[in-house]
Amino acid sequence: MIEFSYSQTAGTMIFEQYYLECLSQASYLIGDKSSGKAIVIDPRRDISPYLHTAELHGLSIEWILETHFHADFVSGHLELAKKTKANIGLSSEANAEFDFTALDNGHLIQLGDITCEVLHTPGHTPESMCVVVTDKSNGEDPWAIFTGDTMFIGDVGRPDLLVSINRSAKELASELYDSIHNVIMALPDETLVFPGHGAGSSCGKNLSTATSSTIGDQRKNNYAVQATDRETFIKLVLEDQSPPPKYFSHDASLNQKVRPLYDESDILTPITLEDVPREAVLLDTRSPEEYAMGHIKNSINVGLAGRYAEFVGSLISFETPIAIVANPSEENEARMRLARVGLDNVIGYIPDLYNLLALSTTNTLQSSRITCFETKSLLEKYSNLQIVDVRNKSEISDSGSIDNSIPIPLSQLHNSLHKLHTENPIIVYCASGYRSSIASSWLRHKGFSDVSELIGGFPAWKLCEATTKD
């Protein structure tokens, strides 16, 4: 599991930050030892880490606070509420199918000496809110603010995601300006800032790799905070935003509904290749190198080592049955990470994979992977060769691309197949080989028969160019 946790115990406070690098997502537990009470902010669906922390310190989780309706993951508020009987707290601007407590601006939640104050901060979404925490045993000044997706380290939440009703991106950006300058930046410079996401998240465009900061540091270094007039702010936060992943609107809607609960104790069952329905997708979660050496025909490769769930959610519809193909003992991890983004239609996993690959030669293929020198030769030989660059726009702007490449960010591949000719050969590249393996396997799955990957991606191409010139 790609995650880390930051813990702090000071006075009567218990604090833990849980950070998933694979989704760039942060959630939090704040507890008070004297009262034995705790809150959890923006939990994910696999709730065992919060239960473990609470049990370790003898805490009762009383509140589950959602800073907004998340678009990039399915929140675990329903799972955690069922397990702990805690109250779910949302902004009073929110509407949801499930039972929740509507929290007005300024609402206080008391945990012994610890006070949690709700601040309405619309802009990323209309119902966005932040939580300011003060530990009265250490003074009257705010200790920290939990900003959700209103403000990140180095950025602010994008207002252009199509998850809000009857509000334009400019209107939300204007509201975000007020939330940043009139609410969040009104706090003392020493106040710690704990955001909902870090670098890699599609909820912003300039997020730092840091997972905490201070108000003072953001005042100096956050480009959006430094835009002190409204029109400049609106222009800055709306320009150059990349298209959001396909699954974002689905998850934002799902987080407002009563939905099936995820159970971590469920074990994925084996399924034979013959019993996999025709409409299902075979999802191979091994590394690109393992996949290239031998894989089941028509399977799609999205390796667990990267932003696995995000890319699967960008390519595979929620209604599509999924059969997991994984290294031994990794199938349940693969399923859990899909559940985090709401992909629950996993029907089983293919057992004894390597024996299957060795014995079933008619269903086994190897990937076509070629060097930069071979690519150069093919470009000179074939005028109809399609070179597809699946990196993001910002990567291409920063480092360049192969001449005459067709730029299609991986998250947009699902709706860009019309840009490619099925009868012409394709070479796909990215920055390393992870995304190009996903893209090439997806293209073959969609009927493109002559698809290869550039080994080493664009860095290898640049090295090849330099070598050739020398």
Task: Read off the pLDDT of residues 389-433 as tens digits, 9 standing for 90 and up.
Answer: 999 988 999 899 999 999 999 999 999 999 999 999 999 999 999
Residue tagged 């990140």 (tokens): 152
**The pLDDT value given to residue 336:** 96
Please provide the CATH number assigned to the domain covering 3-254: 3.60.15.10
Check pLDDT > 80 for residue 470: no
pLDDT surpasses 60 at 4: no
Q: Is 13 helix (H, G, I), strand (E, B) or coil?
A: strand
Look-up of token digits 């073959």: 444
Sign of CA dihedral 57, 5, 12, 185: negative
Positions of CATH 3.60.15.10 in the chain: 3-254
Give the strand order in the sheet containing 406-407: 368-370, 451-454, 426-429, 386-389, 406-407
Do 124 and 150 form a contact (C-beta atoms < 8 A)?
yes
The letter for the amino acid at 156 is V
**Residue partners of 93: CB distance under 8 A and separation at least 6:** 120, 122, 126, 127
Q: pLDDT category, 165, cuts 50, 70, 90?
A: low
The pLDDT of residue 242 is above 70:
yes
Please choose, from the candidates 383, 369, 377, the residue with its C-alpha nearest in 3D space to the C-alpha of residue 430.
369
Task: Please write the tens of the pLDDT for every residue from 348-405.
Answer: 999 999 999 998 888 899 999 999 999 999 999 988 999 999 999 889 998 999 999 9
Q: Which fold has domain 273-365?
A: Oxidized Rhodanese; domain 1 (3.40.250)
Question: Tokens in use for 256?
Answer: 């407002």
pLDDT at 268 over 90: yes
CB count, 10 Å around CB of 329? 7
Q: Looking at the chain, which residues constitute the CATH 3.40.250.10 domain(s)?
A: 273-365, 368-469
Task: Supply the pLDDT for residue 457.
Answer: 95
Q: Where are the beta strands (DSSP E) in 165-252?
A: 192-195, 213-214
- Taking each continuous run of H as one helix and of E as one strand, the counts in the chain are 14, 26
Angle at 200 (CA atoms; ends 199, 203), nearest 5 degrees: 90
pLDDT band at 139 (very low <50, low <70, confident <90, very high): confident
Classify domain 368-469 by CATH number. 3.40.250.10
- SS3 labels along 307-357: CHHHHHHHHCCCCCCEEEECCCCCHHHHHHHHHCCCCCCEEEECCCHHHHH
Cα–Cα distance between 182 and 190 in angstroms, integer?
A: 17
Residue 10 has a pLDDT of 63
Distance CA(227)–CA(319), nearest Å, equals 43
How far, in Å, CA of 211 to CA of 450, rounded? Answer: 43
